[in-house]
Chain A
Amino acid sequence: MLTWLSHLDRLLRGDATRSDALRGGMLQIQAGGLGVLIVLLGAIYGLCMGSYSLLKEVPPTLLDPNGRYLQLAATMIKVPALFYLTLLVTFPSLYVFNALVGSRLTVLSVLRLLIASLTVNLAVLSSLGPIVLFFSLTTKSYPFVLLLNVVMYSVAGVLGLGFLRQTLHRLTSFEMPRELAVDRAAVGAGDSADEVVLVETEPSALDMPSGQAFGRHTRLVFGCWMIVFALVGAQMGWVLRPFVGSPGLPFTWFRERGSNFFEAVLNTLGALLTGSS
């Protein structure tokens, strides 16, 4: 467990994605251990997300002694499932497209890259968990909790994709120059040349190595991956709902099919603004 956590720490700090660690065109990570961490981090966020059901006010006709706990357990299972199922659905097409545009990344290196990105995504998400837990336990409004979760998923998603894009770039660019970014930082209120200090810092997991820019290939592959991931992820979330558990509906593991994620977000936003819960 500690070894996996140290791998996660290396990923977050950017140590695992420095150019010298990627020489073979492959992320040197323990994919199995990170796979288990994805489940654990997802379950932690699921616990925070599902906690709304513990204190929600339910109409007398829907009283179910076990419904609240079942919803909590369901969310703890569903959050990791959401990420794994999205990976399962998108991986074949992501790899095929990646190969089609001439990338030299192998199946294994694409898989490792995606697992690393999901781990970063879930690490950020679970670090936002305490905020979600706090609001879930102190809020009656279902639309508010729902939208708060959408915001948290978006923040974590943006950072996870930022990691994916940067690591994809580092993996696909060869013969990288020395990877030390020079950070020009102005000291004090004035910005005169005399007051500028040059500090050499190692690039983070999200930093572009000095003197490089995203290549056409990286932009193309990443653009397609991002669209496919976001669309499938959002719709997968819709298929696996309920995650939070509406106070006006009894507990079920899955809701009936129909509508889609984006329509639901717009409807929830409308409900929040008009005060209906």
Chain B
Amino acid sequence: MHAWLTTADDVLRRAAWTTRPASRRGLAHLVGCLLLFSLFYGAAMGTFRVLSGQPQWLLQITYSALKVPLLLLATFAISLPSFFVLNTLLGLRRDFGQALRAVVATQAGLAVILASLAPFTMIWYASSAVYSQALLFNGAMFAVASISAQWLLRQYYRPLVARNRRHRWILWGWLVVYTLVAIQMAWLLRPFIGAPTMEVSFLRPEAWDNAYVKVLELIGRMFGW
């Protein structure tokens, strides 16, 4: 456990090994860190049913714990091919090893930040059993973690941008693609908390739908279109 905490500390402090492309062991450490800490936040997220006295809480915790790493890894995997091709096309292939390390380390950093926010989430659950508030609070935690992770990514990217300004374009491209996919992935993998009025399930029966279309429909309804 101490080793993982040291790894988390290294990620947050951007230790040299986290972006050195040579060692494979380092990459495995980053992925391990990502899995462990996101699993932890997922489990904390799933405790809503325990703290509001609902049945099937263990199942919900298990599902939530699995889904947060799945959300991060699947979004990363889907966004990676275009990241590679665009890096190559913009003449940044030589730096790709370091760029890949930077985004993987940022994923690990995001998981660590989320895990550090887990106690807040549990305190919130303990003080309010209202599902919509729990939903909103988790949304806020993800927003805080994402903004912090973006700052971390910028720090990781500083030497790359200093070497070639095109890395800044790639950074923005990555953020746009990653956010686009992550929002849909989160929508698809819901429920993460588990509504008290519904049976516990890994995915909602109506899961296969589009988050952006839903938002547009809501806006349309608001304006009476």
Interfacial residues, chain A to chain B (CB-CB below 8 A): 9, 12-14, 55, 120, 123-124, 126-131, 134-135, 137-141, 144, 159, 163, 183, 185-188, 197, 199, 201-207, 272-275
CA distance A101 to B97 in the complex (A): 44
Task: Given A124-B89, A144-B210, check contact A131 B177 (CB 8 Å).
Answer: yes
In the complex the two chains form, what is the Cα distance from A128 to B84 in whole Å? 11
How near does chain B come to A40, taking the closest CB pair, in angstroms?
15
When C-beta atoms are compared, the residue in chain A nearest to B161 turns out to be A185
B93 to chain A, nearest CB (A): 5
CB pair A131 B180 closer than 8 Å: yes
Q: Which residues of chain B in 18-34 are interfacial with respect to chain A, using CB atoms and an 8 Å cutoff? A: none
**Also in contact, A141 and B210, with CB within 8 A (given A127-B85, A130-B81, A187-B162):** yes
A13-B93, A138-B210, A204-B91 given as contacts; is B82 within 8 A of A186 (CB)? no
Contact check: which of B86, B162, B188, B217 meets A185 at CB < 8 Å? B162
Of the candidates A9, A138, A159, A187, the one having the most CB atoms from chain B within 10 angstroms of its own CB is A138
Question: For the complex, is B213 an interface residue (Cβ under 8 Å from A)?
Answer: yes
Contact B220–A274 (Cβ < 8 Å): yes
Is B150 part of the contact surface with A, judged by Cβ < 8 Å? no
Chain A residues whose C-beta falls within 8 Å of the C-beta of B91 in the assembled complex: 13-14, 201-207
Chain A residues, CB < 8 A from B216: 272-273, 275
Q: Are A135 and B210 in contact (CB under 8 A)?
A: yes
Residue B208 lies at the interface, judged by CB distance under 8 Å to chain A: yes
Q: Which 6 A-B pairs have the closest CB atoms?
A: A204-B91, A127-B85, A139-B210, A141-B213, A127-B81, A12-B88
Measured between beta carbons, the chain B residues less than 8 angstroms from A12 are 85, 88-89, 93
Query: Known interface pairs A13-B93, A131-B177, A183-B165. Does A140 touch B85 (Cβ–Cβ under 8 Å)?
Result: no
Chain A residues with CB under 8 A of B172:
none
In the bound complex, residues from chain A placing their C-beta under 8 Å from that of B180 are: 131
Give complex CA distance A138, B184 in Å.
8
Could you tell me the distance in whole angstroms from the C-beta of A153 to the nearest C-beta in chain B? Answer: 14
- Chain A residue nearest to B177 (CB atoms) is A131
Q: A128-B81, A130-B78 are in contact. List 8 more A-B contacts (CB 8 A).
A: A12-B85, A127-B86, A134-B181, A139-B208, A185-B162, A199-B164, A202-B91, A274-B225
B89 touches A159 (CB 8 A): yes
Knowing A127-B82, A131-B79, A205-B89, the reply to whether A140 touches B162 (Cβ < 8 A) is no
* Smallest CB separation, A81 vs chain B (Å): 23
> CB-CB < 8 A to B208: which residues of A?
55, 137-140
Instruction: Select one of B77, B181, B220 contacting A273, CB under 8 A.
Output: B220
Docked-complex contact A134 and B184, CB < 8 angstroms: yes
Task: Give A14 to B177 CA distance when docked, in angstroms.
Answer: 24
Q: Would you give the 0/1 interface string for B100-138, flagging 1 where the beta carbon is closer than 8 Å to chain A? A: 000000000000000000000000000000000000000
Q: Are B81 and A144 in contact (CB under 8 A)?
A: no
Complex alpha-carbon distance, A14 and B94, angstroms: 12
| Chain B hits for A140, CB < 8 A | 208-210, 213
Is B212's CB within 8 Å of the partner chain A?
Answer: yes
Residue B175 lies at the interface, judged by CB distance under 8 Å to chain A: no
B166: A residues at CB distance < 8 A: 204
Please indicate the chain B residues that have their CB under 8 angstroms from the CB of A159 in the complex: 86, 89
Closest to B167 in A: A185
Contact A183 B86 (CB under 8 A): no
Taking CB atoms, residues of chain B closer than 8 Å to A134 are 78, 181, 184-185
- B173 to A, closest residue via Cβ: A155
- Provide the residues of chain A in CB contact with B163, threshold 8 Å: 183, 185, 199, 201
- Give chain A nearest CB distance to B109 CB in angstroms: 21
